[in-house]
Structure 1
Amino acid sequence: MVKAKKRPEIIYREMMIEALYRLSSADNLIKNSNNFQDAVRVDSAILQIRKAMEAIAFSSIAPSEKRYEDSHRHNKKTIGDHYHARRIMASLAAINPDFYPTPLVPAIRQPDGGWNFGRKTTGYMTRTRFEKFYDRLGKYLHTINPWGKDPQIHQLCKDLPTAIDAIYELLDLHFAVIHIEEPATTQIWLVDAKRDGTVAMTIAMAEGSCVVQPS
């Protein structure tokens, strides 16, 4: 039996839920690590954060799945073999410059009765920081080589709570942009992803192309 394909918005929401769950698990592990003295809990927290970041990368593929798959047809690996968040994001940027979540502040009612969502300007994990931190975590997924350089695990431990909070701030209220070529349409997915693990989505669509203004 062939497994039925899930709709992109369902995949996106499921990946958001997974990312939030893993972030919450990492946060609890850190808080119960005896001030980072419990190496197993620290290592487990690092793994959960990295997996949460990979879930975010996978969610970003969902809206552009076909174009992403087409762009990799020359490779031996299929889309199902991909996992590296930074490489996924580099590929997505080439086909949809607006793929990365755009964090928002709560909407403000306008005089005409409409609502306006302002852009969040600080406190969230930018794409550049996301990719650097993802790579930084990689070397801590392995036992530290005693003959290698100082891994500076203590500095990383200090940075983990701030990084978790920054990812939460990225996801809390954001939108994702999907450009569809045939027929030419643009979708905006407004996503409310709370720290308690609940995720709500609203999808808006406009005919023709749409330009996303930089923050």
Structure 2
Amino acid sequence: MDTSIEPHHIYHTYMVDAKIRLLTAEKIVASKTPISGYGSLDAEFCLLQIRRIVESITFGAMTRERGRYSALHLIQQAENPRAKGSPTSDWKASEILKRLVEISPHVLPIPVRDEPTQTALGIFHFDRKDIEVNHARLIEFYKRAGGFLHAQNPLVSDFVHRLNEQRKAYDGMPKELAGILDFLRKLLWKHVAITLEFEEGTDPRTSDSPKFAWIVDFMTNNDHQVSIQLAEST
């Protein structure tokens, strides 16, 4: 990771990318007729955007906890010398998310309601939205989307069955996509991203006090702007 770039700038880039993909996929799903001319192609395009949004969430979290994440990698390689890879070569969001939840209970975005309450001079409290957020659900979306990225292998014994099952899945895809995109909107549109304190040489799996919090707001549907406010976490 380029340490000359502030982490919140990198996080901002991922969130702008996620917003663009979210708005574009929502537009396609809301269309009464396939924009590409084929419902299956529209669905595959939206699934790719969902997969990329999950990756933006994942790499954004890795950016915030880069010290802890790198330290966990070293521990895992010491525990299993046959383990391969490094923090800089990790790319599979499903595997990265499993590592991230080991190092922080706040690694995922915390969706909050629009208006904070002021509890004291200069201190604001954001109420969480009432939605369940966990890494398993994001991994589910990631893998579901990945299942439509490739053509079926014709040499498998149940090729025809797999092809028919995939075609059936396309029939219910608009409703499924709308549900996934609605969840991602609620998760990301206004959220808090927390980074924990970490002292090099300590066990990254041991939780610590929050170091800082970023208040992220996607604001309006009319543009690709994303606001990030840097705040001390109390």
TM bin, normalised by shorter chain, reads 0.7 to 0.9
The 8 Å contact of residues 107 and 116 in structure 1, kept in 2 or not, is answered as no
Q: Does 1:188 align with 2:187?
A: no
- Give the Å deviation of 1:176: 1.3
Distance 1:170 1:111 in 2: 24
| 1:79 corresponds to | 87
| 2:156 corresponds to | none
**Compared CA separation, residues 47 and 128, structure 1 to 2 (3 A):** same
- Number of matched residues? 205
Deviation string 1:93-112 (CA, Å, 9 cap, x unpaired) is: 11112101110002344475
- Give the Å deviation of 1:157: 2.9
Residue correspondence of structure 1 range 50-199 to structure 2 within 5 A: 50-73=51-74, 74=77, 75-110=83-118, 112=120, 114-122=123-131, 126-144=134-152, 146-149=159-162, 150-151=165-166, 152-182=169-199, 186-194=211-219, 195=221, 196-199=223-226
Deviates more, 1:66-75 or 1:92-101: 66-75
**Compared CA separation, residues 87 and 111, structure 1 to 2 (3 A):** closer
Deviates more, 1:145-154 or 1:4-13: 145-154
| 2:80 corresponds to | none
> Is the partner of 2:106 in helix, strand or coil?
coil
Relative contact order (C-alpha < 8 Å, sep 6+): which is higher?
2
Distance 2:59 2:213 in 1: 18
Larger Rg: 2
| 2:231 corresponds to | 204
2:115 is aligned with what amino acid? A
**TM-score where L is the length of structure 2:** 0.75
- Give the Å deviation of 1:80: 2.8
Distance 1:110 1:185 in 2: 20
**TM-score where L is the length of structure 1:** 0.81
Percent of matched pairs sharing the same residue: 25
Distance 1:185 1:50 in 2: 29
Distance 2:133 2:210 in 1: 29
2:66 is aligned with what amino acid? E
State the Cα RMSD in Å: 2.8
The 8 Å contact of residues 33 and 39 in structure 1, kept in 2 or not, is answered as no
1:103 is aligned with what amino acid? P
